[in-house]
């Protein structure tokens, strides 16, 4: 069964940031950041942020049973 909570809406931020990357003016200039074009660093940062958000959502998913406050089942 699929359910979405308010926590899942956090995923819209990195998705929109990556989808709208070509439209952001700072990414279209030729400047370098740490030796890389700004657009490369932008995508790397948002990719890492997406991974961290997904791991946070996974850890707090109540259906998985390892969320803080989830009921522990006795193994018999």
Helices 38-59 + 12-19 axis angle, to 10: 160
Look at residue 62 in the predicted model and tell me its pLDDT.
66
C-alpha closest to that of 47 among 19, 18, 70: 18
Look at residue 74 in the predicted model and tell me its pLDDT.
44
Look at residue 76 in the predicted model and tell me its pLDDT.
46
Model confidence over 14-71: pLDDT tens digits?
889 888 888 888 767 777 778 888 888 888 999 999 999 889 888 877 666 554 555 5
Average the pLDDT over 5-16 and give the result: 83
Q: Is the pTM of this model over 0.75?
A: no
């Amino acid at each position: 069964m699929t359910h979405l909570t308010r926590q899942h809406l956090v995923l819209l931020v990195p998705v929109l940031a990556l989808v709208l990357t070509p439209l952001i003016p700072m990414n279209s200039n030729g400047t370098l950041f740490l030796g890389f074009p700004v657009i490369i660093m932008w995508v790397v940062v948002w990719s890492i942020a997406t991974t961290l958000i997904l791991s946070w959502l996974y850890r707090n998913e109540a259906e998985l049973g390892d969320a803080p406050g989830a009921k522990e089942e006795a193994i018999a």
